[in-house]
Amino acid sequence: MQSQFVTHDLPNGLRVVCEVMPRVRSAAVGFLARTGSRHEFPPQHGVSHFLEHMCFKGTATRNWHDINVRFDELGSIYNAFTGKEHTVYYGWVPGARLDEQIELLADMMRPSLPKDDFETERNVILEEIAMSADNFDRIVWNFVHEAVFGEHSLGHEILGEKETIQGLPHELLVDYHRRRYAAANVCLFAAGAVEPEAVFAAAGRYCGQWERAPAGSVPGEEPPPLSSGARKLLLDRFKQQSILLLYPSIPHGHADEESLEAFTGLFGGGNSRCYWNIVQKGICTQAGGVWIAYRDRGVLALFADGEPERCDEMLDALRAQAREVVDHGFRPDEIQRVKNQRRTHLSLEAENPRTRLMHLVDDIETRGYLRTADARLAAVEAVTAESIAKVLERHPITGDGLLLSCGPRDWP
C-alpha cells in the first residue's frame, strides 16, 4: 500500500506527523507525550500513569461524563496507555470525524486536574496496585526490571508503589503536567484518510496556544550494565515457577531488530525450538525468548515456566537449546516460516490506521525518522540465518547470564 508522510512543526514546538493512506476510509489520531515512568524521580513514582487517568476526568469545557459521551458520539475506538518512556492517547474514527477527534483529544491534553477527582483516582490506582500483586506475570515482569535496572528509573513499576501514590501531592501532579506536557515535548500523529493541511490547521487551532515551556530536569540517564549471578523472588502463594536467563542485547530501534525478532519467534512460540524440544517433552508449560528493549538498552530473556520441582531440568533445557542454535543455527525452512508470519502481520497492520499510528510513534521515538510499510517489509525480507547468527555472536546467549527465579521454591 502506498503512503505519504507529511510533517509540520507549530511555532510553539509541537510536532505534527501525518501518514496519508490511500483507499482507507477511517483515520486514527493520537497525542504522544514524551514522558513515562523513566522520567520520574523516586518521590514521583507513578505520576505519569496517574496523569493519564486524570486526563479523562475533565477539562475547562468538559467533565468526565462529557468526555466519555463525546467519544461515543464520534463513534471512536479510543484508549490511552502509559509506558516506561512515553504516554499515548488516541482515537480511531471515520475520516469525516477527524477534526472533531483532534479537538477532543487536544482538550484532554489540558485537563483541569480537580482535587476531588484527584483523590478518587488515587484510590483507583491504589486498587490497581493491590490487584497487580495477584498477577504472576506482572510480578515476574517487574522483578526482571528491578533485577536488570536496579535503582534506575526503568526499574520501577509504571503504576508506582503504594507509598508513592499514597503520598503524591496534587501540586506535584499539576507541576509535572505543566513541564512534561509542554508543547515542545508532545507530538500529534494522524494516519489513514487524512488531509495533512487540514490536520495542521486543526493542530494550530486546538494546540497553538499551548506553552512551549521546557520539559524540565528528569532522571533516566544511561542505565547500569547488566550484572551476572542469580537472584530469586519467593512467591509462596503461587504454584508455578518461572526461571529466566538474561543477556545484554540491542536497544529498541537498532538496525538488527528484525533479526532479533526472528530469533524470538524461532526460539519460542508455536512450532519453535523450545515448543518441540522442551514444552512438548513435558519439561515445562511454556518456554521461549523475550526481547525487552528501550531507547538505549536491550535485554534478551530466555524463560521457562513450570512445576517448581523441575527448575534444574528447565534451566538445563534452556541452556541446551541456546547452545544448539548458536552452534548450528536455524534451518532455511524455519526462518522462512517465521518471515512469512511476520510478513502477514505487517501487511495487515499496514491496512489499519490505528496500527500505523503506533508505528509512527515507534519510529519517531526510537529512530527519529519514519518508515513506510514497504520499508518494514523489506527489513523482514533481509533477515537470514547469517544475520541472526551475527546478532547472537555480538550478543552471546550461552554464557552464565543473570539467572532469575520467581515462584514458591527457594531455588537456586
46-101, pLDDT tens digit by residue?
A: 999 999 999 999 999 999 999 999 999 999 999 999 999 999 999 999 999 999 99
- Tens-digit pLDDT profile for residues 365-379: 999 999 999 999 999
Identify the band that residue 1 occupies on the pLDDT scale cut at 50, 70 and 90: very low
From the CB of residue 330, how many other CB atoms can be counted at a distance below 10 Å?
21
- Tens-digit pLDDT profile for residues 96-145: 999 999 999 999 999 999 999 999 999 999 999 999 999 999 999 999 99
Q: Report the distance separating Cα 372 and Cα 326, nearest Å.
A: 32
Lowest mean pLDDT across 54-58, 217-221, 382-386:
217-221
Mean pLDDT in residue range 157-178: 97
DSSP string, 264-312: HHHHSSTTSHHIIIIITTTS-SEEEEEEEEETTEEEEEEEEEE-GGGHH
Q: What is the pLDDT of residue 85?
A: 96
Fold classified for 4-207: Cytochrome Bc1 Complex; Chain A, domain 1 (3.30.830)
DSSP string, 315-329: HHHHHHHHHHHHHH-
* Structural contact between residues 99 and 76, judged by C-beta atoms closer than 8 angstroms: no
Q: Is 77 helix (H, G, I), strand (E, B) or coil?
A: strand
Q: Report the distance separating Cα 230 and Cα 326, nearest Å.
A: 23
Q: What is the pLDDT of residue 218?
A: 87
What's the predicted TM-score (pTM) here?
0.95
Identify the band that residue 3 occupies on the pLDDT scale cut at 50, 70 and 90: low
Identify the band that residue 214 occupies on the pLDDT scale cut at 50, 70 and 90: confident
Identify the band that residue 278 occupies on the pLDDT scale cut at 50, 70 and 90: very high
From the CB of residue 5, how many other CB atoms can be counted at a distance below 10 Å?
16
Query: Does the pLDDT at position 249 exceed 60?
Result: yes
- Tens-digit pLDDT profile for residues 295-313: 999 999 999 999 999 999 9
Give the H or E element holding residue 247.
strand 241-249
Q: Report the distance separating Cα 353 and Cα 199, nearest Å.
A: 15
Is 229-407 assigned to CATH 3.90.180.10? no
* Fold match between domain 4-207 and domain 229-407: yes
In the chain, domain spans:
4-207, 229-407
Q: Report the distance separating Cα 157 and Cα 37, nearest Å.
A: 8
Phi, psi for residue 32 in degrees, rounded to 5: -105, 120
Task: Of 32, 246, 7, 239, give the one whose Cα is nearest residue 147.
Answer: 246
| pLDDT, averaged across the chain | 96
Pairing relationship of beta strands 26-33 and 87-94 according to DSSP bridges: antiparallel
Query: Does the pLDDT at position 223 exceed 50?
Result: yes
